[in-house]
Chains A and B, each alone.
Chain A
Amino acid sequence: MNMKYNHLKPISMVFFKYALMLSIIALLSCETDDQQTVARFTELTLSEEFDTNGQPNASIWGYDIGTGENGWGNQELQYYTDRPENVNVQNGVLLITAREESFEGSSYTSARLVTKDKFEQRYGRFEARIRLPYGQGIWPAFWMLGADIDENPWPGAGEIDIMEYRGQNPTLLIGSVHGPGYSGGEAISKEYSLVNDRFDTGFHIFGIEWGPEYVNFYVDDVLYNQITPEDVTGTWVFNKPFYILMNLAVGGTFVGSPNEETEFPQTMLVDYVRVYKELKIN
């Protein structure tokens, strides 16, 4: 009960701050924003608390296995498995662990969890409370892909990166959207730097509030970016269901390879993943 209270507290704080911020904006620019409505994503649609030891709930979480094509398109070095060594729930926390070991021709193993065909939603508030790993070449992510990706290949399907982070920059968070005409290096992206804190020493809440024509990015109680159709240099594709991915990559073009100082194993700890909707919008 106490736990639950602690978890809920930051959410309301975030929401309050966001609401406050919007109202300040509204005050400052009454003329253009008279029609602005504050979305209240309060209806819980997914609450994955990782309270049962063992493998995560199979009705929600599937896995990408292996190395994909060209290291999942990024020359990543790890082999993804669904072994308990790489993915496991213990003491109320999901552990995604990258290990340095020879496995199926790769030098590292790790895990990538996906909710494809299991949990998909258009719009809402998507957030997770995570403690990140660290070190050169360590690349964790909490992100989403358009659920129509099989018919509409990337980047057409769209991608929302709620949290990406380079282990060699332990204070820096990156939130992005990718779509047709604005993918890879041309993604619409913003970095957020923690002051007097870092992401690998404690849990932080990473989230988006996503509605028609906007995606708001926040960390803990700070809203640090809003992306709207005016910001993207191509078609806005964030108007259909997306599914969730959580993974811990090793190496690849985004982070570079680990070096001799990189400590293994490295573990990404996920306390919860929660998704909300708003009845009028969803």
Chain B
Amino acid sequence: MKNIKYINFRFILLFSLGSIVVTSCERELSDDVEFATFPPDGDVFIDAFSSGLDYFPFVDAGADPEAFSVDTEEVYAGDASMRFDVPAFGNGFVGATFNTTANRDLSGFDALTFYAKASKAASINAIGYGISGETNNKFQVTANNLAVSTRWEKYVIPIPDASKLISETGLFWLAEGASFEGDEGGYVLWFDEIKFEKLGTVAQPKPAIFAGEDLTVQAFTGSTLNVVGLTQTFNLADGTNQAISVAPSYFNFQSSDTGVATVNELGQITVLGTGSVDVTAILAGVRADGSLEITSNGALPAAPTPMRAQANVNSIFSDAYQNSTESNFLPGFGGSTTETAIINTSDGVVLSYANNNFTGIIFNNTVDASGLTFMHIDVYVQEAGTEVGLQIRDVGANQTIDTDVNTGLPIGDDKDLRVDLTGLTVGQWTSFDIPLDGDLTTQRNNLGALILVGGPNFILDNIYFYTE
């Protein structure tokens, strides 16, 4: 068997030498083995759907599948353009991906380019390429809030690292709609000459993770965290800097101590041990701005398991109960220094707060706690003397948080209850059962937010309203 292989190899060698001699007067052969590749076809929509291309509206997400058409009247060049009729507020949105059944090799290009115009000045919520069900959008790229005018203009969405795009199906996608009353809607968007190009002028890459910030977080063995805020910014031929949101798989992530934490290609950090570790990243050979310093103090003990019946509970954040409402844990209050992370541990998710001055948990829907008498919350701290100010806010019938910007006190139809979570023991969970009294005695049918003040570092779990 071995012998036969050897002969085969020699034959191949001889044959390839022969072909070098035959072809070398034309061009040099590469030393590298040539792999079979997909066609390097960059065309997406010039005057018609390019090879294998099809239209996939995001119907499940509420997109209007009728919003797209091919227009032969309003074109930049040739005889057809893509037309999207963006519905008015409340009537769905434009959302679709254009994928090809014939995979493309895009590694020779440096940008997706197109001409666009709109019937009125607008900004497209999200537009890009790389949507693929097969790869779970592994190489998705998105330009956010791309401003378009009423003139045909050329737009460039750069490729973060083209060497990764050797077998692509998701060539173009967009999502645009009126996201609130008064937002632009009821207008028409046109695109023409959509294609991948080698511009040669996409330069000066400036990748970032965590939006370029150097963050710190406390974590525990078994925690999983995500690298977020992944962007790449290129300087274009016209001198502008074009930022794009980039899928994690374009980056190479690094952990300074893989005994403490590891990062996979999806940007998922797993904390494995005790110690301190820096998570950084490189994109196409360029060090990304931003990092995460994780301090792990070993395993986080589980918070006490809630024992109350689901029927008596309206839960905000707990693995033990169905949520009564989803919530926004990153309200982005102006002046807030808080770094919030939802951390997976071996015993479920917890909320981790670092450098908190003030932040909040904003309920997506208000909670009617008229029939409930207490709020439960578990708090874990690692530094002696930590105290957390908690404000339970009823936002009133108008469903909006009304606050005196000078005093921070509720105004209008708002009421709140303020308690200090004190007497916390380092390295242990402390449970609080707070009676819904004070100003909430008579008004707690529109509970809308929890405000968290001070700390500055603490972990929360099992936040719910209940009756006994």
Q: Which residues of A contact B (CB under 8 A)?
A: 134-136, 167-171, 195-198, 200-201, 261, 263
* CB of B51 within 8 Å of the partner chain: no
* CB of B204 within 8 Å of the partner chain: yes
Contact A170 B237 (CB under 8 A): yes
Distance of A203 Cα from B66 Cα, bound (Å): 51
Given A195-B200, A196-B199, A197-B200, 14 new contacts (CB under 8 A)? A134-B203, A135-B235, A136-B239, A169-B238, A169-B239, A170-B201, A170-B203, A170-B237, A170-B239, A197-B201, A198-B203, A200-B203, A201-B203, A263-B206
Which A residues are in CB contact (< 8 Å) with B238? 169
Distance of A196 Cα from B199 Cα, bound (Å): 5
* CB of B198 within 8 Å of the partner chain: yes
Contact A196 B239 (CB under 8 A): no
Distance of A202 Cα from B238 Cα, bound (Å): 17
* CB of B323 within 8 Å of the partner chain: no
Main secondary structure of the interface of A (DSSP, over half): loop
Which B residues are in CB contact (< 8 Å) with A196? 198-201
Contact A198 B241 (CB under 8 A): no
Distance of A143 Cα from B189 Cα, bound (Å): 48
Which A residues are in CB contact (< 8 Å) with B204? 134, 200-201, 263
Distance of A201 Cα from B235 Cα, bound (Å): 11
Distance of A6 Cα from B206 Cα, bound (Å): 31
Q: List 9 A-B contacts (CB under 8 A).
A: A134-B203, A134-B204, A134-B239, A195-B200, A196-B201, A197-B201, A198-B237, A201-B203, A261-B241
Contact A171 B201 (CB under 8 A): yes
CB distance from B230 to the nearest CB of A (A): 20
Distance of A261 Cα from B200 Cα, bound (Å): 21
Which A residues are in CB contact (< 8 Å) with B235? 134-135, 170, 200
Which A residues are in CB contact (< 8 Å) with B203? 134, 170, 198, 200-201
Size of the B side of the interface (Cβ < 8 Å), in residues, is 12
Distance of A171 Cα from B204 Cα, bound (Å): 13
Indicate the member of A135, A169, A170, A197 with the most B CB atoms within 10 Å.
A170
Distance of A27 Cα from B239 Cα, bound (Å): 41
Return the chain B residue nearest A193 by Cβ.
Answer: B237
CB distance from B142 to the nearest CB of A (A): 20
CB distance from B145 to the nearest CB of A (A): 17
Distance of A171 Cα from B200 Cα, bound (Å): 10
Distance of A131 Cα from B235 Cα, bound (Å): 16
Return the chain A residue nearest B203 by Cβ.
Answer: A201
Which B residues are in CB contact (< 8 Å) with A198? 200-201, 203, 237
Contact B237 A171 (CB under 8 A): yes
In the complex, which of the residues B201, B206, B239 contacts A168, with contact meaning CB atoms closer than 8 Å? B239
B 236-253 contacts with A by CB, 8 A: 237-239, 241
Return the chain A residue nearest B110 by Cβ.
Answer: A196
Return the chain A residue nearest B204 by Cβ.
Answer: A134
Which A residues are in CB contact (< 8 Å) with B201? 170-171, 196-198
Distance of A3 Cα from B206 Cα, bound (Å): 31
Which A residues are in CB contact (< 8 Å) with B198? 196
CB distance from A256 to the nearest CB of B (A): 11
Which A residues are in CB contact (< 8 Å) with B199? 196
Return the chain A residue nearest B233 by Cβ.
Answer: A261
Which A residues are in CB contact (< 8 Å) with B239? 134, 136, 167-170
Distance of A263 Cα from B206 Cα, bound (Å): 10
Distance of A168 Cα from B239 Cα, bound (Å): 5
Which A residues are in CB contact (< 8 Å) with B206? 263
Contact with A along B191-232 (1 / 0, CB 8 A): 000000011110110100000000000000000000000000
Distance of A195 Cα from B197 Cα, bound (Å): 13
Indicate the member of B198, B204, B206 with the most A CB atoms within 10 Å.
B204
CB distance from B241 to the nearest CB of A (A): 5
Return the chain B residue nearest A167 by Cβ.
Answer: B239
The 10 closest A-B pairs by CB, nearest first: A196-B200, A168-B239, A201-B203, A197-B200, A198-B201, A171-B237, A261-B241, A169-B239, A198-B203, A171-B201
Distance of A136 Cα from B204 Cα, bound (Å): 13
Which B residues are in CB contact (< 8 Å) with A171? 201, 237
CB distance from A156 to the nearest CB of B (A): 35
Return the chain B residue nearest A201 by Cβ.
Answer: B203
Distance of A169 Cα from B240 Cα, bound (Å): 9
Which A residues are in CB contact (< 8 Å) with B237? 170-171, 198
Distance of A263 Cα from B233 Cα, bound (Å): 13
CB distance from B200 to the nearest CB of A (A): 4
B 150-199 contacts with A by CB, 8 A: 198-199
Distance of A13 Cα from B238 Cα, bound (Å): 30
Distance of A13 Cα from B239 Cα, bound (Å): 30
Return the chain A residue nearest B236 by Cβ.
Answer: A170
CB distance from B353 to the nearest CB of A (A): 30
Indicate the member of B199, B201, B238 with the most A CB atoms within 10 Å.
B201
Which B residues are in CB contact (< 8 Å) with A195? 200
Distance of A170 Cα from B201 Cα, bound (Å): 8
Which B residues are in CB contact (< 8 Å) with A134? 203-204, 235, 239
Which B residues are in CB contact (< 8 Å) with A201? 203-204
Distance of A112 Cα from B87 Cα, bound (Å): 58
Distance of A197 Cα from B200 Cα, bound (Å): 5
Which B residues are in CB contact (< 8 Å) with A168? 239
CB distance from A201 to the nearest CB of B (A): 5
Which B residues are in CB contact (< 8 Å) with A197? 200-201
Return the chain A residue nearest B200 by Cβ.
Answer: A196
Distance of A169 Cα from B237 Cα, bound (Å): 7
Which B residues are in CB contact (< 8 Å) with A135? 235
Which B residues are in CB contact (< 8 Å) with A170? 201, 203, 235, 237, 239
CB distance from B32 to the nearest CB of A (A): 23
Distance of A261 Cα from B199 Cα, bound (Å): 22
Which B residues are in CB contact (< 8 Å) with A136? 239
Which A residues are in CB contact (< 8 Å) with B241? 261
Distance of A196 Cα from B197 Cα, bound (Å): 10
Distance of A135 Cα from B204 Cα, bound (Å): 10
CB distance from A203 to the nearest CB of B (A): 14
Distance of A183 Cα from B201 Cα, bound (Å): 32
Return the chain A residue nearest B206 by Cβ.
Answer: A263
B 450-466 contacts with A by CB, 8 A: none
Return the chain B residue nearest A261 by Cβ.
Answer: B241
Distance of A170 Cα from B241 Cα, bound (Å): 12
